Amino acid sequence: MKTSQRNIVIGIALLLVLAFGIVVARCGPDSDEPVKRQLGPGLGGGFIPPTKIGTGTGGGGGISAVVADSPMTGSGSAGSHLKFSDGTSAGQLLAWNGTAWAANNYCGDPSQRYCFLEEFEFGTTCSSGKFAGNASGTGASCTYTANTDGHPGVVSMQTGTTVTSGIRWSLGSGVVLGGGQGIYTTKSLVMVQNLSTTVIEYLFKFGFSEPSSNAESVDAIEAVYDRPVTGDKWALKTCSNSVCTTTICDGTGGTVNKPILALTWYTAEITLNAAGTSATLAINGQVCATNTTNIPTGSTRATSIGAQCFNNTGTVPANQICYVDYTAAMLPFGVAR
């Protein structure tokens, strides 16, 4: 072999040895390079850094570290992230909604919480699934429609043609709120056929409610549309032993303006903090009202989960329709069952 060829072979061999040594050094027991290559920096592509379980930023998001009282951060498309407990409530889950981390408490460990979802897919009377309902007054009725325009089950609550005629339904058992057990939530997707007027007035309310008749609830935390009181706005109403506080989502006093339009779907979510001292109403994901007074807590002020749609006042009572696509709720347990 010529000297030049021999030198080339030796050079290549030396380069291979050097490269192998670098790989061994970087992949040894004290190196995190394999983890970095497998999990990435937690940015852009949604990889997870080795020093913590993800930053939650970028396209895929990743998973953030589980640290008590230290919520994860992140950005990305709605529904692409899932957060473990942030230390504010046992077993609490948060999900990224495209703007911020938000409660995602409607399902989870059944030993920690009771959760349900009613889709109103089937029914022949105003009772459906978990709810016991009642229609009172001439012409009041419930109609169930399945799989319509992307809504897999809708109940139409139609008022009657007499004053105070209408529909009400609720869970059969009482719901005890507060007591430090955790965060209580209920959420519904709703719509009204027509806006209320001075001639034809009706009232629509739902949430933590105990509608035993077409009248005001004794103990409740409700989303309310009651035009003589709220105008064409959503409002949060809390009642304890028939003493009530109503906060209108009209953009004043720290509230956010949330008008109501006919034939428009709205998500309405009511949340009560673990201490039972603060209730909020969020419309389409944005908190618009907060109440800290007349909140029903404890066994003596037990309520339920329900809804009402009935003629309130007006000179010409007529059929009005309130639509509910679904109702979901999460009730935490103080001690795991």
Interval 246-260 mean pLDDT:
95
CB 312 within 8 A of CB 203: yes
User: Position of tokens 């209320």?
Assistant: 196
Which pLDDT does position 212 carry in this prediction?
A: 66
290 or 57, greater pLDDT:
290
Which pLDDT does position 169 carry in this prediction?
A: 82
Selection from 70-74, 110-114, 270-274 with the highest mean pLDDT:
270-274
Which pLDDT does position 193 carry in this prediction?
A: 94
Closest by CA to 223, choosing from 308, 115, 117, is: 308
CB 292 within 8 A of CB 202: no
Interval 258-283 mean pLDDT:
95
Domains in the chain, ordered, with CATH? 113-332 (2.60.120.200)
Q: What does the alpha-carbon distance between residue 30 and residue 50 come to, in Å, rounded to a whole number? A: 13
pTM of the model: 0.69
263 or 100, greater pLDDT:
263
Could you read off the pLDDT of 167-194 as tens digits, one per residue?
888 876 678 888 777 889 999 999 999 9
- The model's confidence at residue 15, banded by pLDDT at 50, 70 and 90, is low
Least confident of 28-37, 217-226, 305-314: 28-37
The runs of H, that is alpha helices, within the chain are 3-26, 33-39, 227-230
Closest by CA to 323, choosing from 204, 192, 222, 152, is: 192
Tell whether the model's pLDDT for residue 265 goes beyond 80.
yes
Both tokens assigned to 71: 């919520």
Could you read off the pLDDT of 48-72 as tens digits, one per residue?
444 444 344 444 444 443 333 334 4
